[in-house]
Amino acid sequence: MPTMESESSTVSRAEELKSSANEAFKAHKYSQAIDLYSQAIELNEQNAVYWANRAFAHTKLEEYGSAIHDATKAIEIDPKYSKGYYRRGAAYLAMGKFKEALKDFQQVKRICPNDPDAAKKLKECEKAVMKLKFEEAISVPVAERRSIADSIDYRSIVARMTTSSMLVTAAVAVVLAAALMAAKFMSIGAVLAIMALAASIMVIVFPLARTIVLQTRELLRTLPSLVDITVPNGKQFTVCGDVHGQFYDLLNIFELNGLPSDDNPYLFNGDFVDRGSFSLEVILTLFAFKCMCPSAMYLARGNHESRSMNKIYGFEGEVRSKLSETFVELFAEVFCCLPLAHVINQKVFVVHGGLFSVDGVKLSDIRAIDRFCEPPEEGLMCEVLWSDPQSNLGRGPSKRGVGLSFGPDVTKRFLQDNNLDLVVRSHEVKDEGYEIEHDGKLITVFSAPNYCDQMGNKGALIRFEAPEMKPNIVTFPAVSHPDVKPMAYANNFLRMFS
């Protein structure tokens, strides 16, 4: 039986761990903070503060499912602990679960009736729920919706465009500059300078931007949900992870690794937009390259290529601010056309999120997914976009609250069942820009360095050269960008927590 002295020592040690975790959190070392809070919880699991603090750290890593679990535990320990409801409400908001968040912020207001911050967040949450109810009331059933894209003839727009109108958008600068470089009239440095200048001006010619989006949609619609890529012997192929609206880091990738071309093709593996405040420049650039040379640019859907994410994390607001409401609908339609996965040289499986809740999934099953819709909350399409690897064997609940976690045995069986060598996925920020897991059979690649201007991580890309197709990982730091903060166009209530 423990003595009072030993209990006091245990409590003291737990507090020391909490203090160390707090310091790690302040230094933006959120994974380290989670480990330290976990150690404190092991010593004193009845301390609600430890659970709530760990919930906050999970939120910073976008692990909203884990954050909700920890915040709920804090509430169970102390039903009057306002921060438990506060942390859970913030996680619900980040997941777009406004009604659940509203209940938690109402409880915060009851516990702290004179807290102006709680009152402000409650008011914003009430606005979001009212807006959601209004949108639900006026929404048209999916079966009855008319495609905006189908009502526009982009070919007639192209015919009407003049040369002068093509010089004032980042996307056009890409097409023009890349064409000039192909003719050996410009250096890559000059090409990138033109792209950056055009983005800084950001005067969008509506007809041209619309043409690029519509032409990309037409190209993507012809593709299967799983695209097979063939890299000839002696040639290389580059896979990039999340870019998240960090346009100037995208330019840096092209400076380091060359512009996309038939001899230098790229696959960008989802999450092109949201969070970063230059998402429109990113997506128009990638789409322009796709239109200019389809075999030089492959694009996969990420979990942020969806209406629900774009509504919360900034892309919808950015498009509405820089272009128009029509473009919000256009991008939503094009995102539903993006393929879900790629296989390179019948060896490397590339997907944004991860693997599946059941064994025996074949490539033909992925190819057969009807992807032309908003992502569902379960099933193969959901898991492709949302799942994450875990170190433990088997499967577990998702730390995000969507999809699942899958272990090295799951990866091994999937590769064996489909005669593949490697899984490449993205979806998670990594300190070095990448991480190799599951006995070397799975690589995470993340291409947004210093994510959200605060994580301090490197970015990475992976080069494969045929026929060996061995991964050659290149890392790079963040570059400077104009003074526009991440989440500048995000939903107002979410910016309160950023």
How far, in Å, CA of 61 to CA of 256, rounded? 28
The 3-class secondary structure across the chain, one letter per residue, is CCCHHHHHHHHHHHHHHHHHHHHHHHCCCHHHHHHHHHHHHHHCCCCHHHHHHHHHHHHHCCCHHHHHHHHHHHHHHCCCCHHHHHHHHHHHHHCCCHHHHHHHHHHHHHHCCCCHHHHHHHHHHHHHHHHHHHHHHHCCCHHHCCCCHHHCCHHHHHHHCCCHHHHCCHHHHHHHHHHHHHCCCCCHHHHHHHHHHHHHHCCCCHHHHHHHHHHHHHHHHCCCCEEEECCCCCCEEEEECECCCCHHHHHHHHHHHCCCECCECEEECCCCCCCCCCHHHHHHHHHHHHHHCHHHEEECCCCCCCHHHHHHHCHHHHHHHHCCHHHHHHHHHHHCCCCCEEEECCCEEEECCCCCCCCCCCHHHHHCCCCCCCCCCCCHHHHHHHCEECCCCCEEECCCCCCEEECHHHHHHHHHHCCCCEEEECCCCCCCCEEEECCCCEEEEECCCCHHHCCCCCEEEEEEECCCCCCEEEEECCCCCCCCCCCCCCCHHHHCCC
Bridge partners, residue 444, by sequence: 425, 435
CB-based contact 479:460 (threshold 8 Å): no
Q: Which residues contact 100 (CB under 8 A, 6 or more apart)?
A: 89, 92
Tokens 């577990």 belong to: 396
Q: How far is CA 177 from the centre of its chain?
A: 28
Indicate the residue type of 488: A
Distance between CA atoms of residues 244 and 246, nearest Å? 6
Tell me how far CA of residue 93 lies from CA of 50, 110, 231, 379, in angstroms.
22, 19, 43, 23
Active site residue 304: yes
Of 58, 304, 342, 427, catalytic? 304
Active site (catalytic) residues: 304
